[in-house]
Structure 1
């Protein structure tokens, strides 16, 4: 099974990038499942139902989240809708947390679990993700593909998580830092890994937002209002994971970026 994963969609330009590139990518890859991280889609923070619908129409089967999952209060109007394949990190603390941290879907009669988990290093103090995986994974069907969007800040936590989960899940793909890393690999011929898949949105901003306020903050050390760079040129970061349907082990993972300086994938 080929699983296509697209990194953080940022702002309206992220939607435009997704609408422009995702159909072309899917024609080449021919994935059986497409997952898109959408936690930054509305003004860089959060998601509303109209954003979810646009991501879905562009070609996503599942929309995952992260630390900005709750930033738009309107998310509470649809995050519990069982007809909408939207996720938030599983390890938010407390009971009766709205939404789902994982989803079970059937792809050509093969069961697939898509799991959303958030790291805690240099991030909000959610429940320990390692213990959360220990709690969750035994409850899932063993003979199934398990794909993890691990939304985390530090490289070390992401790598440690992937090694901890080797042989337990099919893939661990990192999101959140918006810059694609070049370390795609398969641990022990079992679990695919990429530290960060990158972002989808402005190629000319800084992590998807306008350059000037960020530079000014570094210059002055004073707060600045960050806004999505909606006028930049488009980019999309993604990866393709090939999983053996019989063993649930990853065969390969390949990472790609399409931007004005790199359009090799489409040539």
Structure 2
């Protein structure tokens, strides 16, 4: 099963980058399932209906979220109405809107997509390690499993990947917005990359305006971050082949790495 996964979409420029580049990427790679992390799609924090619909229209099959999942109030209704929009499964409480896992049938195969959030330097959610044990027990043994692990620290991402090594097809790290150069197959067969990277402005600082970020570091005072919606676009992605021998390949499109068919 071939899966295309696109890293964190940030702001209108990120949504536009998806509209521009996702269709030709799908034409080039022919994925059976396309997953997009859209947790920063609405003004850099959360997602709303227009962004959700735009990502689907561009070719996303499943959209995952992260620590900004609840930043737009209307996301609660979106989560309850759409099983292809996932929030982290380890949010506490039995009445949390939406779902953190979906099982999609692809021809004669099944793909389970799980969205989880780390806890190191993040909000204190339920334990993602115990949560994944519970979720994996609910998934048919023949299904392929892909996890979007939305976390801050490389150590937690790597430890988690080793924890599920051999039990899932892939663990893809998101949240830190910089694509890492460590895509690999772990000893028991799980495909892993610490961070897929982001989709948005190539000229900002992790998607926000440079001046805002510099001011924060220079003054050490709170600064309102604004999405850099007028920079040059970039898209970071990961291509997976989930089979008996999993394969992983990361890619990027930006001014220094232009798209070629």
Tell me, in whole angstroms, the C-alpha distance in 1 between the residues paired with 2:119 and 2:188: 27
2:130 pairs with 1:131: yes
Once the two structures are superposed, residues 160-213 of structure 1 have per-residue CA deviations (whole angstroms, 9 ceiling, x without a partner) of 111110111000000000000000001125210000000000000000010101
Deviation at 1:222, TM superposition (A): 1.1
Q: Is the 8 A contact 1:159 1:195 kept in 2?
A: yes
Tell me, in whole angstroms, the C-alpha distance in 1 between the residues paired with 2:114 and 2:218: 40
Q: Is the 8 A contact 1:25 1:266 kept in 2?
A: no
SS at match of 1:238: strand
2:254 pairs with 1:255: no
Once the two structures are superposed, residues 123-160 of structure 1 have per-residue CA deviations (whole angstroms, 9 ceiling, x without a partner) of 00001111111111111111100000000000010011
SS at match of 1:71: coil
Tell me, in whole angstroms, the C-alpha distance in 2 between the residues paired with 1:4 and 1:188: 23
Residue in 1 aligned with 2:24? Answer: 24
Q: Which runs of 5+ in 1 are unaligned?
A: none
SS at match of 1:266: coil
Tell me, in whole angstroms, the C-alpha distance in 1 between the residues paired with 2:2 and 2:135: 24
SS at match of 2:81: coil
Tell me, in whole angstroms, the C-alpha distance in 1 between the residues paired with 2:186 and 2:257: 28
Residue in 2 aligned with 1:89? Answer: 88
Q: Is the 8 A contact 1:24 1:266 kept in 2?
A: no
Deviation at 1:109, TM superposition (A): 2.2
SS at match of 1:73: coil
Residue in 2 aligned with 1:103? Answer: 102
Q: Which runs of 5+ in 2 are unaligned?
A: none
Once the two structures are superposed, residues 15-72 of structure 1 have per-residue CA deviations (whole angstroms, 9 ceiling, x without a partner) of 1110111111111111001000000000000111111110000110000000000000
Q: Is the 8 A contact 1:39 1:46 kept in 2?
A: yes
2:256 pairs with 1:266: no
Q: CA RMSD in A?
A: 1.0
Matches for 1:1-267 after TM superposition, within 5 Å: 1-82=1-82, 84-188=83-187, 190-244=189-243, 247=244, 249-250=245-246, 252-263=247-258, 265-267=259-261
TM-score normalized by structure 1?
Answer: 0.96
Tell me, in whole angstroms, the C-alpha distance in 2 between the residues paired with 1:217 and 1:187: 38
TM-score normalized by structure 2?
Answer: 0.98
Tell me, in whole angstroms, the C-alpha distance in 1 between the residues paired with 2:183 and 2:94: 35
Tell me, in whole angstroms, the C-alpha distance in 1 between the residues paired with 2:78 and 2:204: 31
SS at match of 1:204: coil
